[in-house]
A and B are shown apart, each in its own frame.
Chain A
Amino acid sequence: MGTSELPYRPLTFDTDGRRHLFVRENGMLAFPEGVRPAVFEVWTIEHSSLVKVEPDTGDVQMRSTADLLERLVHRLAREKVGLRLYAAGRPDFLAKVAKVADEAGLCSGEIMLGEPVGPERRVFCVHCDTLHDGVSGDTLMCQGCGTKLSVRNHYSRALGAYMGGGEPAVVIAAMEAVAHG
């Protein structure tokens, strides 16, 4: 996978799918739009005991993101053609789900990422390879090498992270302008 912006868009059920799995980072996130398909499962990360349980939906509660992702890996490895996977949550969560889906061989029509909630991103330091989770601004101090990083628009699916580099923002802007033509 190359680098690009993740393709976010409002979630809508794809009627061409035969089975549908919705993974969400918390119970407040709405189901995809449209008529709810017959075969529909929801996996929710339970952050508090106040999470509403939807009846009759094949609702599954997960303890943590790690738990959900691990189960997703196993599930997709056994999954047959016809599944549509929908994900809702923060950019970090979406990035991790997208990476698992990519590795399982899903293509763009099979994985749908909702508009991210919250501005946090996962950032990779291009100088020392340190990953930072939950970065909400455009700049941060690298915890690995101490460089002041600017977060770039480019996202690496392979790493599941945005790139952070030490060049001044104006230089990055100029580089991106060249890269985007």
Chain B
Amino acid sequence: MAERMGFPTSIERVERLTPTLRRFVLRAQKQALPPVSPGSYATLEFGDGEKVYKNAYSIVMRSEDGLELTVIVRLAPQSRGGSRFLHEKGQPGLPVWIGSVANLFPIVKTARRHLLLSAGIGITPFLSYLKKMRSIGADYTLHHFCRPEERSAFDALLSEQDQTRVFVHTGLPSEVGLADWLRDESIATHVYFCGPEGFMKWVEETTHKLGFAPGKVHSEHFFVPEGGRPFEVILARSGRRVSVKADETLLEALELADVDAPCMCRGGACGACEVTVLGGQPDHRDHVLTEAERASGNIILTCVSRAKTDTLTLDL
């Protein structure tokens, strides 16, 4: 690959929010970082001599001068190492390369009212939303769901917000009455949600049942891909074979083998990494492909999806 795109930064400050959540402030070494909008994420590359990790994280804040970006990283139990590395070795001074910045989850400018629903780490895109919405005097409400032991951390994280619009709950959405609140929303309300899979599914089903039009419901199914059983890919154009280890993604394996594979979000959310499958059966884990595309079995998003068969033949 030709010139390396991106921005060199290093960790400036680290703050432990809870045992599993850490806030990192990254400082640009040279020029200002690209502009961001509420909901933007950045792809970060970091590591040690042994391994390079590439993960995408929601941007919580960009400083006025554009030199600092803040992200919050959750230590995922199923982490393939990236989040764990940042939690264990992410100290001030560690170099972090910002590969790209993009937004798949923007605020709908024309919306009259915004209802934000998050659970756990899903709060991160909304931290930048809240700032923006407050500054423009928008009509919004946030309901955040977390475990009882994390409550104080999230209360602290949200302490500077407008307390009449921001609510933290330790009960399940179905227990605290979220369905009734949703039912009571005006027809002009747009709903945004982000969180773990179970939460996402509940909100998806509930909003659908209540008659929210698809154009009013926005979600970010952003996640750090999990590992799985190893498999082998055959690159049809060159006949090369690349093995994908249990703790690496298909995309990472391709990159390591110097294959020029497309990608953007690295979290199964954008669809940029789509590749044609010529043989074998994909194990789809993204949130982009339609049911029909999944069933056809002839495309795969390499950043998160794996294989059900021992080999997968790709049009690469």
Contact = CB atoms under 8 A, between A and B. Distances in A.
A106 B216 CA distance: 9
Contacts of B211: 16-19, 81-84
A81 B213 CA distance: 9
B210 A82 contact: yes
Contact of B187 (A16, A104, A108): A104
Contacts of A105: 110-113, 186-189
- Max count, chain A CB within 10 A of own CB: residue among B110, B188, B208, B214: B188
B16 interface: no
Given A16-B211, A18-B210, A109-B214, A81 B185 contact: yes
Interface size class of A (residues with CB under 8 A): 10 to 19
B183 interface: yes
Nearest to B215: A107
A79 B210 contact: no
A98 to B, nearest CB: 15
A180 interface: no
Say what secondary structure dominates the interface of chain A.
loop
Interface string A86-121: 000000000000000000111111100000000000
A17 B212 CA distance: 8
A81 B215 contact: no
Interface string B163-183: 000000000000000000011
B212 A81 contact: yes
Interface string B205-238: 0001011111110000000000000000000000
Contacts, number: 58
B216 A16 contact: no
Contact of B213 (A79, A80, A110): A110
B184 interface: yes
A80 B214 contact: no
A76 interface: yes
A79 B110 CA distance: 18
A109 B188 contact: no
B112 A16 contact: no
A83 B112 CA distance: 16
Contacts of B208: 16
Contacts of B113: 105
Contact of B188 (A18, A19, A82, A104): A104
Contacts of A108: 213, 215
Contacts of A83: 187, 211
Nearest to A82: B211
Nearest to B115: A81
A80 B216 contact: no
- Max count, chain B CB within 10 A of own CB: residue among A16, A18, A80, A84: A80
Instruction: Please provide the 8 A-B residue pairs with the shortest distance between their CB atoms, ordered closest to farther.
Output: A105-B188, A82-B211, A109-B213, A107-B215, A18-B211, A105-B112, A79-B187, A110-B213
Interface of A: 16-19, 76, 79-84, 104-110
Given A81-B187, A105-B188, 13 more contacts: A17-B211, A18-B210, A18-B211, A19-B211, A76-B187, A80-B187, A81-B210, A82-B183, A82-B212, A105-B186, A105-B189, A107-B216, A108-B213
